[in-house]
Each structure stands twice: as structure tokens, then as C-alpha cells.
């Protein structure tokens, strides 16, 4: 049996130990906001937050993340009010939207570590998240904007 904490909820599941977290989230728990795109940690669409870090759930065996705090896009905020989500809407980032859960998770992880990222910091944190529609210019703008939102919140 596998016990798992996702978005603050505990689950006990009868599944293979080696099932990647991605498929547990999607096919077992029905949390489909986290996407499958490559299965080899080469695109970032499956990114989730584990202890605040952006992790590729497609290659993470579920047994390795028991007793850890896993957050998916569905649990990032109550009402889409996370600074990154707000900035994403403000800058009209999404196109097809399929990679964006992963992009937002990686951006949120970056900003939790570094509230004032430079272009290089953004490049380093985001280069593993691919987007076929080509939303990168707006992702960059939105991350900078989200950083400002966070800085302002910290000040008040």
C-alpha cells in the first residue's frame, strides 16, 4: 500500500510501487491538471511541487514521495490567486495551455526561492519547461510581473 499526501489530502492506495507519480495523480486520483507529454523528464509538462521544488512527476516512482508534501496545479492556490497565476492571466500567456500547469509550477518554485529573478535565473529555472506554441516571451514577462506582486505583498 502507498500512502500519499497531495494538496493537503492523505490517500492510501493499492498500486505498484514503481508507478510514476504522474499516473497516480492522473489515472488514480483524477487530478488531470498535471500533464503527460514526454515521460522522460524532457519537457516539464508534468511538473509538481514537492517540498517547494519543481519535480518531474513522470519519472518519479510513487514510493519515493510518500510522506512528502506534494502540490499540483489544482492545489497551488484556492482561487487561482497565486501571484504566478495572476501574472499569467495579466500577461495573456497561455495559448493551447497544455504545458502551462508545468510552466506555472516551475515559475512558482523559482519565485519561492528567488523573489527577484534575473533573466539568467529565469533561463536556468525555466529551460526545462518546453512550450510548442512559443509562449516564452510572455512567460518571461509574467514571471517578472509575478515577482513584483510578491515583493509588494512582502512589503505590506
Partner 1 sequence: MTKVVVDHEKRRFLRLSTSLASVLVVGINLDACSMRKQTLSKFDVKNETLQSTVWVKIHANNAIEITVPSVEMGQGVATALPMMLAEEMEADWSLVTFKLAEANSQFKNPLTRRQQTGSSKSVRGYWNALREAGSSIKQLLILSAAKEWQVPVTECSAKQSKVIHQKSGRAINFGELIHTAQHIPIPNPGPLKEPKNYRIIGTSQRRLDSLQKVNGAAIFGQDIQIPDMLVAVVQRAPFLAKLKHYDATKALEVKDVIDVIEIDTGIAIVAKHYWGAIKARNVLKIEWDDSESQKLNPKNLRELFIKKLSKATVVDEQGDIEEGIDQAHKKLTAIYELPFLAHACMEPMNCTAHVQANRCDIWASTQGPGPAKKLAAKLTKLDPINVHVHPTFVGGGFGRRSEKDFLIEAIQLSQRLKKPVKVMWSREDDIQHDYYRPASYNEISGGVDEKGMPIFWQHKFSSPSILNRIVPFITISGLDPTATEGASDLPYRIEHQQIKYALAKNTVPVGFWRSVGSSINGYVRECFIDELAKLGGKDPYRLRQNLLRDHPRILGVLNHVAEKSGWDKPLSKGKYRGIAVVESFESYVAQVVEIRLDKTQFVVEKVYCAVDCGLVVNPLSVEAQMQGGIIFGLTAALKGNITVSNGRVEQSNFHDYPLLQINETPEIEIHIIPSNEPPTGIGEPGVPPIAPALANAILSATGTAVRKLPINSEKIRSQMA
Copy the grid coordinates of residue 64.
519515493
Contact indicator for 110, 122 with CB cutoff of 8 Å: yes
Choose, by CB under 8 A, the member of 2, 4, 6, 36 that binds partner 1.
36
Rounded to a whole number of angstroms, the minimum distance from the CB of residue 7 to partner 1 is: 10
Considering beta carbons, is residue 52 or 97 the nearer one to partner 1? 97
Contact indicator for 25, 102 with CB cutoff of 8 Å: no
**Residue numbers 53-82 binding partner 1 by CB under 8 A:** 72-74, 76-77, 80
Copy the grid coordinates of residue 36.
503527460
Choose, by CB under 8 A, the member of 54, 57, 70, 140 that binds partner 1.
140
By CB under 8 A, residue 138 contacts partner 1: yes
**Residue numbers 4-23 binding partner 1 by CB under 8 A:** 16, 19-20, 23
Residue 42's contacts (CB-CB under 8 Å, 6 or more residues apart) are 128, 130
- Residue 113: how many other CB atoms lie within 10 Å: 11
Which range binds partner 1 by CB under 8 A, 31-39, 49-57, 108-116, 146-154? 31-39
Choose, by CB under 8 A, the member of 3, 9, 11, 27 that binds partner 1.
27
Q: Using CB under 8 A as the criterion, which residues of the chain lie in contact with partner 1 when the complex forms? A: 16, 19-20, 23, 26-28, 30-40, 42-43, 45, 72-74, 76-77, 80, 85, 88-90, 92-101, 104, 122-124, 126-140
Amino acid at each position: 500500500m502507498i500512502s500519499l499526501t497531495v494538496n493537503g489530502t492523505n490517500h492510501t492506495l493499492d498500486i505498484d510501487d514503481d508507478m510514476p507519480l504522474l499516473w497516480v495523480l492522473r489515472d488514480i486520483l483524477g487530478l488531470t491538471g498535471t500533464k503527460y507529454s514526454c515521460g522522460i523528464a524532457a519537457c516539464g509538462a508534468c511538473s509538481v511541487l514537492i517540498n517547494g521544488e519543481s519535480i518531474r512527476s513522470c519519472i518519479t516512482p510513487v514510493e519515493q514521495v510518500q510522506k512528502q508534501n506534494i502540490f499540483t496545479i489544482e492545489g497551488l492556490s484556492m482561487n487561482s490567486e497565486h501571484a504566478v497565476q495572476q501574472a499569467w492571466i495579466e500577461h495573456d500567456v497561455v495559448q493551447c495551455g497544455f504545458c502551462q500547469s508545468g510552466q506555472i509550477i516551475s515559475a512558482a518554485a523559482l519565485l519561492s526561492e528567488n523573489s527577484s529573478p534575473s533573466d539568467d535565473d529565469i533561463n536556468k529555472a525555466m529551460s526545462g519547461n518546453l512550450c510548442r506554441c512559443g509562449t516564452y516571451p510572455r512567460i518571461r514577462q509574467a514571471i517578472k510581473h509575478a515577482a513584483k506582486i510578491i515583493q509588494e505583498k512582502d512589503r505590506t
